Amino acid sequence: MEATTSYVKRRANGRISIKSGNKVEQVMTGTIITLSILTILAFFFFNYAGLDVTKAIPETAYNLKTMFLEPALSHFTWGEAIYQVGITLGLAFLATILGAVIAFFLALMAATNLSNPWISKTVRIVVAFIRAVPTVLWVLIFAIAAGLGSEAAVLGMLFHSIAYLVKAFSEAFEEVDKGILEALTATGANWWHIVTHAVLPSTFTYLLSWTFLRFEINFSVAVAMGAAAGAGGIGFELFMASGFYFDMREVGLITYMILLLAVVLEIMSTRLKNRYFPAKASR
At residue 202, the pLDDT reads 86
At residue 141, the pLDDT reads 83
Closest among 184, 122, 134, 186 to 160, alpha carbons compared: 134
Which residues have CB under 8 Å from 9's CB, separation 6+?
16, 17, 18, 19
Q: What is the DSSP letter of 60?
A: H
> Could you tell me the CA-to-CA distances from 276 to 212, 217, 271 in Å, in that order?
13, 21, 9
**How far is residue 106's CA from residue 128's CA, in Å, rounded to a whole number?**
13
Angle at 61 between CA 57 and CA 63, to 5 degrees: 115
Mean pLDDT, the chain, rounded, equals: 83
**How far is residue 265's CA from residue 68's CA, in Å, rounded to a whole number?**
22
143-162 pLDDT, tens digit per residue, is 887 777 778 888 889 989 99
**Fold held by 75-281:** MetI-like fold (1.10.3720)
At residue 153, the pLDDT reads 84
- Residue ranges in the chain modelled with pLDDT below 70: 1-22, 229-230, 273, 276-283
Query: What are the extents of the domains in the chain?
Result: 6-44, 75-281
User: What is the pTM (predicted TM-score) of this model?
Assistant: 0.75
276, 91 Cβ separation under 8 angstroms: no
